[in-house]
Amino acid sequence: MGMSSIQYSLPLLAVLACSRAGDPGESPSIRQVSETGSCPECSIELVEVARLGADGDPVSIRPDVSNRPCMVARLPRQEWAVSGLIGGGELGVYDTTGALVRTIGRSGEGPGEYGTSLHVVVGPEGTVSVVDNTYLRLTTLRDTQPLRTMRLPLRVQSLALLESGELLVHGRPSGATDDTGHRFTLVDMESGQLRSFGESDENLADLDQWVVGRGSQGGFWAASGWKYELHKWVNADSLEYALVRDHVDWFPSDNAYSDEMYVSEPPAS
């Protein structure tokens, strides 16, 4: 099978945040931005980090990997783990030259086996955590060997490893009996304990899509995929503030579907 080569770049993103943390139970401040700002001196520079894959490799990388969260992770030994292989069921490990050096796992439902929809994140001490949306589970590996596996109640769309060591995930409803329907879930990587928070309307699940990220000074960020809305959380009990911007021509108005905006699935009518 021919190998799809893919290039990854590292953009620099600067975000200005308030310095005061909100108190638990305190209503978050909402900053409304009504005008389109300009910054002629601002720019985003892309730096090539690695080119992964080559013709002749036994596995191919999915062409949409670069715009999906947590499908590529940098390993401690200057290697790269890619979960977005065509067919799924395994991770591809590449060296700094972009050559495939080995694979991890295989297709199946048992220990060390995976389904077709995977996300990967690197944790402390060289551990690698793999989210498997096919079987709704999280597997933690060390040196390619499974350490623990825990069940997840939802299909993960976005995830981030927080400073606390917890895994923050946002996902779509799975229909499982233990799916609470909340917007976010914190996963204790040691005990497997779950804590869900953030109200979400199950009737608008197609529009309630968020990208989450670890804060540089603790806490975490969440950005809506369907409107210009950015949330800064101190922790699960304290939403510090929300930034909402109106009249952005590259976001659809009133959450209406737009052919110009890439979506994995169009919203239900």
Q: Which strand (E) or helix (H) includes residue 218?
A: none
Confidence check: pLDDT of 116 > 70: yes
Name the residue with higher pLDDT: 12 or 124: 124
If phi over 0 gives left and psi between -120 and 50 gives alpha, with beta otherwise, what is residue 159? beta
Confidence check: pLDDT of 258 > 70: no
Structural domain spans, the chain:
1-10+48-151, 152-255
Confidence at residue 82, expressed as pLDDT on a 0 to 100 scale: 92
Confidence at residue 7, expressed as pLDDT on a 0 to 100 scale: 41
Q: How far apart are CA 21 and CA 155, in angstroms?
A: 31
Average pLDDT value for residue range 172-196: 82
Confidence at residue 267, expressed as pLDDT on a 0 to 100 scale: 45
The separation between CA 103 and the C-alpha centre of its own chain, rounded to angstroms, equals 22
Average pLDDT, the chain: 77
pLDDT tens across 223-246, in order? 988 778 889 999 998 888 888 877
Given CA atoms 240, 244, 250, 256 in this order, what sign does their dihedral have?
A: positive
pLDDT tens across 128-183, in order? 999 999 999 999 998 888 888 998 888 898 999 999 899 999 987 666 777 777 88
Most confident segment among 78-82, 140-144, 253-257: 78-82
Q: Which two tokens stand for residue 170?
A: 């946002």
pLDDT band at 90 (very low <50, low <70, confident <90, very high): very high
pLDDT band at 214 (very low <50, low <70, confident <90, very high): very high
**pTM of the predicted protein model:** 0.73
Average pLDDT value for residue range 80-100: 91
